[in-house]
Every structure is written in C-alpha cells, then in structure tokens.
Amino acid sequence: MSEAARQMPEKIRCDACPVLCYIAEGRSGACDRYGNEGGRLVRLDPLTIIESAIDKGVQAVPFLAGTEGNDWDGTIVQPQRPFVTAVGAGTTYPDYKPAPFIVSQTVDDADMVTVVTEGIFSYCGVKVKIDTDRFIGHERAVVRVEGEPVGHVMTSEYGSRMLTLGGVEHLTGGSKKEGRVTCDTLLKLCNREAVEVSIDDGATVVVQAGKAPIVNGVEEHLMRVGCGSAAIGMFASQWAPHTDEVIVVDDHITGVLSEHQAGKMLDVPPTGIKISGRRSTPGRYFQVANPGTGWGGTDIDDPLSILKPADGKIAWPGLRLLMVSTTGEHSAYFELDEALQPVAKPMPEVLRKSVERVAENCEPSICSVLFMGGAGGSLRAGVTENPVLLTRSVKDSLTHVTCGGASAYVWPGGGITVMADVMEMPSNAFGYVPTPALVAPIEFTMRLSDYIALGGHASHVRPVSEAITDEVRRVSRIDRDEDPMAPHNYRWGGKG
C-alpha cells in the first residue's frame, strides 16, 4: 500500500438503511441523506419543526386555527405549539433501536409525546388525481416513465382521471431499472416535482402536485362542472327560454334537454332531435362517441357527428339547437333549415353568456398527489417494544398519525396504512434509499400516559426544548392569500 493510501481517512459505514454504504470523508451515501464529516456520520438535512404562526404574528390557515378560549377543538396536533416533524429526524433502521426523537411537551396541562421517525417504505406508492375530461388511457392501462412500468390507470372519478403508481411489485418485483425508475418517480412526485408519464394506448401527461396537468402538450384549465345530465339539470332554467334544444356532450353521460326530467318540468316540448349512443333514463345517453381529447372527453371535433337524422314528424325548420361540452370550452349554435339539417349560426348573446356560466362553474384543473404507505412492524418497533399495541392505539384514536405534520388518513383494517396529501407537507419532505424504497416522515402523537401504557420507550423521552437547537430547520404556516393556489403553504425559516 502506498504512503498516500495509508494517509487517506478511513471510510465509515452508514447503518441508516439496508444498503450499509461505506462513505469517504466529505462524501455522502447513495441516498444523499447521510455523509461523512470528519469521520462522523451526519445527517445532511436538519430536523424540521413546524412553529406556531399565531405566536409569530402570522395569520394561520383558518381550518388549522384553534377555537377561541381554552376549549379543545378535537385536534391532537395543535397549531399553537411547535410540532417536531420527522423530516430530517433519521430512521430506526435496523429497527432494534427506539425512534430518533421521542419528544414531550405540555399542552393545556396534558403531558403529550410525539414519536418521530423517517420510515423506509418498500410498500408505498402514490395515488394521483388528474382533474380533466380528456381521455388519458383506458382503465388498467400501464403507466410508464422512461419506458418502464411504474403503475396503472384506475377507475375514473367525477371529473378526474386517477392513477396508482408505485407499490412493492414495481419497486422490487421487476427489473433493477424498473425499481430505480419507480422509486425516482415516486420521490419526485412526493416532493412536488414534475414527472412526464406515458400511458399505453393513451396520452402523455405531465403531472405535478398543485399544478395543472399537461395532456399531450396542452395544459388543462377547467374541471367539468358535472356530467352532461347534471349540466342539463343545473342550467335548464337558463336555457329553456332561449333555445329549443340543448345537448351537453360528455364521454360518460350526454344530456338532452327536451327528454331530460328538468326539461319536462320546464315544459320543454319534444324536438325530434336524435343522438347516437345507448339511451339510459330519459335525456341521458351513454357511449355517444369514443373517449378522446375533444368535446367533453370524447374523440369528436364536430358535434354534429353524434346526431342522427331529425324526426320529420316532430322537428321543424328554424328549431334552435345549442351544443356545449361539460366545461363550456366547446360550444356551437345551430338552426334547422327547411330540410331539417342543422346549420351553424352566430350564437345569441344570451346563450353565449350561459356557456360562459358553465365555464365559470368549473374549478381549475389540478393534479393531486397522495402518498400512501404501510407502517410495518419494524417501524412500529421504534415506538414501542410491543408493536401491535401501537396499531390498536391508532385504531382506538388514542394516537394521532401525521406525515411531516400533515394529518394522515389511516385506512381501516389491519396494520397502519396511511395516506397523506403531499401539498400539506413541507417541501422536500421525502428521501429515498437505493434498496429501492422511499423514506417518508411519520409521527405518532399521544398522551404520555398512553405512551407508557403501550410499552413505549419511556427512557428515551426528552423535552421539546432539547430537540430544538440552532441547527433546526423551522416552518411557519403562511397566509393562504399570498398564494391562493397553494392553501397549505409553508414559510421556511433559517437558524434560531
């Protein structure tokens, strides 16, 4: 061995995840979360504290503010006190040791404990809600990133397309590249970065939490006000006095005013206008066209293509016909000629305003990303020596679960399966380990007496004052008026 090699500082071994990296001086491990600083293993991003905005003179998000007086409003994690998140806290791996921070503080004369840890989630994924009428892919179609399968299309919900991405089958059950790409995709989405996905036999979509989706290069703007039938019901009284027939084109349920119950109640007479598709209840038609990116989420550019020949025994020359999509982005006005053929005409001002009213009632298109993961027995062991008691405590509502300070929905059934909106969490709250798996913050808050009763690591409890140091990163909730599109924003503070 050369003299230079002998003088090189030794590498140190990181035990924060199963990779067990050997890290040289001044370098970080594979996850970029831990590094070698002077022969010491250090965390490269500091612990995060969410501070009370009320005490700082900053207006809090209204639904997070406490009630007036001293009455408890049912919130376990109260915004009037600092809250130690698991962002930057470290992990329990290899799971024989207690959580890195078990912090106590007194709240309204009650001794409370918050246990924080960054869980290594091999069993995790995201649910993505994309507000658009556009067709992006058939249910069960594979979603890909860089050509690798990372998830699939779920059932559509009202005005939204849904994706489920990640999961252990993609993280560990496929090729090495599939696992790496899946982990990278989840990390970016959870940290609110943009990701372009392609869907088999469908669209290319750019997804970013809190931002409008971009479908095949076109940014979406509006989420439908309702299906075609619902739109008929909502606007029938505004349309009936000024036109003879209205057809609201929709990929799922196309509405026809004169046949619809709303039209009947307003004494709209039959018009003889016939449309393609499978008739459901009166005024409601399914499958008028194929899914697509045109009118109302169909594949049509010409609305007349869904019309059948008018019934000559009922229709009449001069019949006024309005056709509109569920977002009001597409609309056209026609009148029947002597041959009962629809002829395009300038839209009357009163109908133009009604179309604008449809668009006005559509909410902005947004992508929502919800992290979902299962807190396994090993993670729970960092909270208590008897992990099943933590599960029971959560189910009994004695323990409140949060992710990076954001309230998490705990699924019913066995285990602790949580789901949290990444927009409610501090930015860059997620990390990864190249096993591959996501590293996500999770906190358990309960009364000290309940913590001791479930076999918690009582000897490791320390006051919050000992956890808050000059190196701690702090977060204050800010006024939503500063950014109306991001109602759960945070302001990042420096030291002290």
Q: What DSSP string describes 164-233?
A: EEE-HHHHHSS-HHHHHHHHHHHHHHHTT--EEEEETTS-EEEE-BTS--EETTEE--B--SS-HHHHHH
**Can you give the pLDDT at residue 92?**
74
Q: Which of 187-201, 286-300, 471-485 ranks highest by mean pLDDT? A: 187-201
Whether residues 341 and 456 fall in one domain? no
**Beta carbons within 8 Å of 300's beta carbon, 6+ residues apart:** 249, 289, 292, 294, 306
Encode pLDDT of 34-91 as tens digits.
Answer: 788 888 887 777 767 766 544 444 333 333 333 344 454 545 444 456 778 888 877 7
Distance CA 250, CA 113 (A): 52
Q: Are residues 253 and 292 located together in one domain of the fold?
A: yes
Which two tokens mark 240? Answer: 């009936």
The whole-model pTM stands at 0.81
Do 238 and 331 lie in a common domain? yes
Residue 413 lies in a domain: yes
Residues 15 and 72 in one domain: no
Tokens of 65: 């503010």
More reliable by pLDDT, 471 or 182 = 182
Q: Based on the fold, state whether residues 439 and 417 are members of the same structural domain.
A: yes
Asked if 59 and 34 sit in the same domain, the reply is no
The whole domain housing 197 covers: 137-153+164-214
* 256 and 198 belong to one structural domain: no
Mean pLDDT of all residues in 449-473: 84
Last residue of a domain, one of 294, 325, 360: 360
Q: Is 319 left (phi over 0), alpha (psi -120 to 50) or beta?
A: beta
Task: Give strand ranges (E) for 5-135.
Answer: 12-13, 22-23, 34-37, 40-43, 48-51, 83-84, 101-107, 110-121, 124-131
Cβ–Cβ < 8 Å for 167, 125: yes
Identity of the amino acid at 340:
L
190 neighbors 124 (Cβ within 8 angstroms): no
In a domain, 268, yes or no: yes
Q: Which of 63-77, 268-282, 371-385, 474-488 has the highest mean pLDDT?
A: 268-282
Q: Give a yes or no: residue 443 inside a domain.
A: yes
Percent of the chain predicted with pLDDT > 70: 85
- Mean pLDDT within 131-154: 96
DSSP-derived secondary structure letter, 247: E
Within this chain, do residues 394 and 430 fall inside the same structural domain, yes or no?
yes
Beta bridge partners of 480: none
At 206-248, the pLDDT tens digits run 999 999 999 999 999 999 889 999 999 999 999 999 999 999 9
The total number of structural domains that make up the chain: 4
User: What is the pLDDT at residue 262?
Assistant: 95
Task: List beta partners, residue 371.
Answer: 126, 420
Whether 208 and 182 share a structural domain? yes
Q: What are phi and psi of 77, to 5 degrees?
A: -90, 95
Q: Are residues 298 and 335 in the same domain?
A: yes
Asked if residues 183 and 437 have their Cβ atoms less than 8 Å apart, the reply is yes
pLDDT, one tens digit per residue, over 391-431 is 999 999 999 999 998 999 999 998 999 999 999 998 889 99
Q: Are strands 490-492 and 110-121 parallel, antiparallel or unpaired?
A: unpaired
Residue 136 in tokens: 């992006």
